[in-house]
Amino acid sequence: AQSVTQLDSHVSVSEGTPVLLRCNYSSSYSPSLFWYVQHPNKGLQLLLKYTSAATLVKGINGFEAEFKKSETSFHLTKPSAHMSDAAEYFCVVSDAGGTSYGKLTFGQGTILTVHP
Amino acid sequence: GAGVSQSPSNKVTEKGKDVELRCDPISGHTALYWYRQSLGQGLEFLIYFQGNSAPDKSGLPSDRFSAERTGGSVSTLTIQRTQQEDSAVYLCASIGTGGRGYTFGSGTRLTVV
pLDDT digits (tens, 9 = 90+) for B99-112: 556 788 889 999 99
Chain B positions touching chain A (beta carbons under 8 Å): 3-4, 31, 33, 35, 41-45, 48, 56, 59, 91, 93, 95, 97-107
Using the beta-carbon criterion (under 8 Å), do B35 and A41 form an inter-chain contact? no
Phi, psi of A77 (to 5 degrees): -135, 160
Phi-psi region of A110 (alpha: psi -120 to 50; beta: other; left: phi over 0): beta
- The b/e string for B100-109 (b: 16+ C-beta within 10 A; e otherwise) is ebbbbbbbbb
Residue A39 DSSP class = -
- More confident of the two residues B97 and B84: B84
pLDDT given for residue A98 in this prediction: 44
Using the beta-carbon criterion (under 8 Å), do A51 and B35 form an inter-chain contact?
A: no
Taking 3-state DSSP, the helix, strand and coil percentages for chain A, each rounded to the nearest 5, stand at 10, 55, 40
- Model confidence band, residue B98 (pLDDT cutoffs 50, 70, 90): low
Q: Is A62 helix (H, G, I), strand (E, B) or coil?
A: helix
Residues making up chain A, counted from first to last: 116
**Model confidence pLDDT, tens digit, residues B39-76:** 766 678 899 888 888 888 888 999 999 999 988 789 99
Q: Comparing C-alpha atoms, which of A1, A62, A71 is closest to residue A35?
A: A62
Residue type, B83: Q
Residues from chain A contacting residue B3 (CB–CB below 8 Å): 43
Alpha-carbon span A45 to B47, nearest angstrom: 20
- Cα–Cα distance measured from residue A39 to residue A88, given in angstroms and rounded to the nearest whole number: 6
Q: How far is B41 from chain A (nearest CA, A)?
A: 6
Q: Which of A11, A78, A23 is nearest to A50 (CA)?
A: A23
For chain A, the farthest-separated pair of C-alpha atoms sits apart, in whole angstroms, at: 42
Which of A6, A8, A44, A47 best probes binding to B when mutated, by most B CB atoms within 10 angstroms? A44
Residues of A with CB under 8 A from a CB of B: 4, 34, 36, 41-46, 49, 51, 90, 92, 99, 101, 103-109
- The C-alpha R_g of chain A, in whole angstroms, comes to 13
Which pLDDT score, from 0 to 100, does residue A56 have? Answer: 94
User: What burial class does residue A60 get, using C-beta atoms within 10 Å of its C-beta: 0-12 exposed, 13-18 middle, 19+ buried?
Assistant: exposed
* Per-residue pLDDT tens digits for A8-49: 999 999 999 999 999 999 987 778 888 999 887 666 788 998
Contact B35 A108 (CB under 8 A): no
CA–CA distance, A48 with B104 (Å, rounded to integer): 14
